[in-house]
């Protein structure tokens, strides 16, 4: 019996972590102590309430932390040799509600690398890219030129692949909409791309 209990604690530690294990041990101690005191003095109703409360808290701790584990993910090989598209990712995912934004100037060196280095090490992201000739005075109220469907990235993604893809999509944009090449002329304000990106979990 003791061996099974010990193995259960090891499983909790591996699966949920030390913090959850400490919570479980504390409330198990409360449960066992209340059981012992009930055996000594079964007329104390408060002890029964404490025992029930400890069981409910243990159940809640397991439930809450199991939900947290569902909303995690492993780092994926995204946009390393080729661009990874959201539409190709068939596993159900959960979006983070916090949208991040970054400005990428087309003619500045290491723009993409610096952006990737800002991403969290253990998270995957959905990225959308919107072209703007002027990154200083842009507004969401003006017409937007979305370069591509959403792609998937993380900190291990290839900056060279992303940069090449952006340039290809800009050329397609110019040809498709019959835009003048002057839209790509370098100015103090641009041109560039606005990155919108969200964490996602699967």
Pairing of strands 100-105, 192-201: antiparallel
pLDDT at position 15 is 66
The Cα–Cα gap between 168 and 53 comes to 61
Name the band, by pLDDT with cuts 50, 70 and 90, for residue 99: very high
Q: In a 3-state reduction of DSSP, which class is residue 153? A: strand
Q: How far is CA 65 from CA 42, 97, 172, in A?
A: 34, 20, 47
Mind listing the pLDDT tens digit for each residue in 117-166?
999 988 899 999 999 999 988 877 888 899 999 999 999 999 999 999 99
Half-sphere exposure of 160 (CA within 13 A, CB side): 2
Q: How far is CA 155 from CA 11, 114, 124, 134, 181, in A?
A: 31, 10, 8, 27, 32
Q: Structure tokens of 122?
A: 């253990």
pLDDT at position 159 is 94
Mind listing the pLDDT tens digit for each residue in 174-201?
999 999 999 999 998 889 999 999 999 8
User: In the predicted model, is pLDDT for residue 2 greater than 70?
Assistant: no
User: In the predicted model, is pLDDT for residue 102 greater than 70?
Assistant: yes
The DSSP annotation for 183-201 comes to GG--BTTB-EEEEEEEEEE
Contacts for 100 with CB less than 8 Å, ≥ 6 apart: 195, 196, 197, 198
pLDDT at position 33 is 85
Place of tokens 């900056």: 159
Q: In terms of pLDDT, which residue wins out, 106 or 140?
A: 106
Q: Where are the domains of the chain?
A: 2-70, 84-201
Q: In terms of pLDDT, which residue wins out, 155 or 71?
A: 155
Q: In terms of pLDDT, which residue wins out, 133 or 39?
A: 133
Supply the pTM of this predicted model. 0.65
Strands (E), 70-180: 84-85, 94-95, 100-105, 124-132, 145-146, 151-154
Quote the mean pLDDT of the chain: 86
pLDDT at position 68 is 56
pLDDT at position 112 is 95
pLDDT at position 182 is 92
Percent of the chain with pLDDT over 90: 44
């Amino acid at each position: 019996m003791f061996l099974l209990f010990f193995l259960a604690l090891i499983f909790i530690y591996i699966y949920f972590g030390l913090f959850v294990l400490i919570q479980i041990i504390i409330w198990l101690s409360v449960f066992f102590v209340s059981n012992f005191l009930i055996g000594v003095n079964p007329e104390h109703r408060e002890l029964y309430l404490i025992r029930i409360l400890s069981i409910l808290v243990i159940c809640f701790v397991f439930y809450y932390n199991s939900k947290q584990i569902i909303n995690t993910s492993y780092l994926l090989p995204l946009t390393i040799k080729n661009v990874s598209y959201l539409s190709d990712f068939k596993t159900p995912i959960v979006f983070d509600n916090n949208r991040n934004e970054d400005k990428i100037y087309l003619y500045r060196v290491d723009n993409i690398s610096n952006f990737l280095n800002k991403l969290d090490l253990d998270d995957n992201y959905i990225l959308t890219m919107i072209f703007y000739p002027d990154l200083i005075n842009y507004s969401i109220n003006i017409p937007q030129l979305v370069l591509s469907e959403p792609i998937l990235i993380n900190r291990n993604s290839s900056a060279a692949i992303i940069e090449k893809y952006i340039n290809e999509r800009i050329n397609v944009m110019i040809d498709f909409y019959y835009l003048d090449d002057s839209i790509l002329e370098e100015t103090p304000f641009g041109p560039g791309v606005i990155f919108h990106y969200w964490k996602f979990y699967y």
